[in-house]
Amino acid sequence: MSRALIPISDARADVLAASVQLPSEPVPLAIALDRVLAEDVVAAADVPPFGNSAMDGFAVHHGPSRRSLRIVGEARAGSPAGVVVGRDEAVRISTGAPLPDGAEAVIRVEDTIELGDSVLLSTDIKAGLNVRKAGEDLRAGTVVLRAGTRLGPGELAVAVGAGLAEVGCTRAPRVVVLCTGDELREPGAPLGPGEIHNSNAVMLAALARQAGAELLTVARVQDTLAATEAAFADALTQADVVLASGGVSVGPHDHVKPALAALGVQERFWRVSLQPGKPTWFGQRGDQLVFGLPGNPVSSYVTFLLFARPALLALQGHAQPLPPRGEALLTIQMPLRDREQAVRVRLDDRDGLLRATPNGAQGSHITGSLAGADGLAFLPPGGGQTRSGASFPIERI
């Protein structure tokens, strides 16, 4: 109990040190959104595979304006012209169609006048005009996506272009969410005396999914040592990561720590110099990770973002499990406390200067501070007030 609180940065480093990348598996691109690449993706062939037109118009040789050329064929996307274009000839061409042999450029249809089977050019043409060269997008044999990249829609398009149907991705971490508390009821259920709705279950499940986890179970756990131990024992049969909320403080009904000790989960840290989130507990059994997040919903949310999310990303082999930090000017003065504060803020950079405005009251039970927040601002421990106009580190949510 008298142990010093550890700084956020030390706690994060400890979490990352315990997070061992999961094995790789092949994933079809159609379902690979948000998965993390376990290996580099190399382009199998040039993209585009052939020189083609960037415009609808005519494929021609280079030369001056006012030339009249005979139209000798047509190239459409998916069907090449099959003719060689001579100096006094033109081939009608569609965007994306292969540039016919002999042609050096494409003149836009807007810059031509068609007269019977001839076309009059109204601009000078330089070689290469409106032509997309083979390999201009992706070059055969080069790395086009690095291992550790999270696949968004754009990366998926590149992987398809690279000639692949599936990619090697790190297995998604299997997560169990356990919410401890006799007072918890299902969303929408009528509440008896002293009862509350279980917001952490839905929130933590959503956060875990957003971080790329495969959610196995979301369960509520009664406040007894036996129930807590049984729930964790069950979770640890299959989970890579157990996210528990509540029961990690010092109350007589806080059973999470003794239950985990009985199951051989070794504590790595307990209690962080953080508001909200002081009682955060983190431990491991082999490569399995257990987070005991504080029950207050805001504390659960913030500590998930600060500690559990980086772990989930690191398990997936993400190149940057920690979010990048910036700086923002705090728009109001706030009291400094004995712990570092992670203030839920709204960020605004309208005139090029990033500003952070606290998203309402900051108590660890005020879920309103989460809705619409797009950043966390970090205030150092201390006394008194922040200086007016001072800037602080921020992370985007």
Ligand X SMILES: Nc1nc2c(c(=O)[nH]1)N[C@H]1C(S)=C(S)[C@@H](COP(=O)(O)OP(=O)(O)OC[C@H]3O[C@@H](n4cnc5c(N)ncnc54)[C@H](O)[C@@H]3O)O[C@H]1N2
Q: Which residues bind ligand MOO (CB under 6 A)?
A: 275-278, 294, 296, 299, 364
Amino acid at 359: N
CA–CA gap between residue 256 and residue 282 (Å, rounded): 11
Minimal distance, residue 303 CB to ligand MOO, in Å: 8
Minimal distance, residue 259 CB to ligand X, in Å: 13
How many residues bind ligand X (CB under 6 A)? The answer is 27
Closer by beta carbon to ligand X, 38 or else 265: 265
Considering only residues 286-345, where is the footprint of ligand X by CB under 6 A?
294-297, 299
CA–CA gap between residue 92 and residue 199 (Å, rounded): 63
Cα 193 to its chain centre, rounded Å, is: 41
Could you tell which of ligand MOO, ligand X, none binds residue 295, using a CB distance below 5 to 8 A set by kind? ligand X
Single out the residue of 380, 373, 361 nearest to residue 397, CA to CA: 373
Per the omega criterion (within 30 degrees of 0), is the bond before 276 cis?
Answer: yes
Closer by beta carbon to ligand MOO, 60 or else 272: 272
Strand partners, 283: 267, 290
CA–CA gap between residue 232 and residue 217 (Å, rounded): 12
362 near ligand X, rule: CB under 6 A: no
Q: DSSP class of residue 301?
A: H
Could you tell which of ligand X, ligand MOO, none binds residue 248, using a CB distance below 5 to 8 A set by kind? ligand X
165 near ligand X, rule: CB under 6 A: no
Closer by beta carbon to ligand MOO, 135 or else 279: 279
**CB atoms closer than 10 angstroms to residue 308:** 25
Per the omega criterion (within 30 degrees of 0), is the bond before 48 cis?
Answer: yes
Could you tell which of ligand X, ligand MOO, none binds residue 200, using a CB distance below 5 to 8 A set by kind? ligand X
The residue from 19, 130, 200, 288 that contacts ligand X (CB under 6 A) is: 200
Location of structure tokens 């315990």: 18
Can you read off the two tokens belonging to residue 354? 């990033």
The residue from 14, 34, 124, 183 that contacts ligand X (CB under 6 A) is: 183
Q: Which residues bind ligand X (CB under 6 A)?
A: 179-181, 183-184, 196, 198-201, 245-251, 254, 276, 278-279, 294-297, 299, 364
